[in-house]
Amino acid sequence: MKKFLSFFAFLVFFTININAQNSVASDTLPILQFDKIEHDFGKIKEGTLAIHPFEFTNKGKSPLVITNVIASCGCTTPEWSKEPIAPGAKGLIKAAFNSYGRPGQFHKTITVISNAGANVVLSIKGDVLLNTQEPVSPVRNN
């Protein structure tokens, strides 16, 4: 019986210790927070390179490192800073969509991989008009 109680006490202590370590670790992680995660270019003319900057802030307590940004298609090119983002600092991920030869509606995703934990999926969408039609909304958003 003493062995069982000793083992049970050890198991409870071990479980509490593991949970405390996980709590401390998650409190010090960077937090990647975007101002918005979706952008609609509206109607754009075929052949236009449509660019949108997604702005984010590191809301955590340690430096944020974006290790990779992956576009869902070769027609979309992401650009981002490879330098760590300090706590409280802002950064940008630019998504460029090449509309050449791609008339019609589009919806593309950009997956952001960082040391903040879960991946973030950004999206861009719009409608590419044939060269004979005029665009209705602006293309470049800064």
Q: What is the pLDDT along the chain (142 residues), one digit of tens a residue?
A: 556 555 555 544 554 554 444 444 567 899 999 999 999 999 999 999 999 999 999 999 999 999 999 999 999 999 998 999 999 999 999 999 999 999 999 999 999 999 999 999 999 999 999 987 555 555 666 6
Report CA-CA distances (Å) from 100 to 51, 70, 128: 14, 20, 9
Domain 31-129 belongs in CATH node 3.40.50.2000: no
Rounded CA separation 36/142 (Å): 14
β-partners of residue 105 are 127
Give the global pTM: 0.74
- HSE-up (13 A, CA, CB side) for residue 67: 7
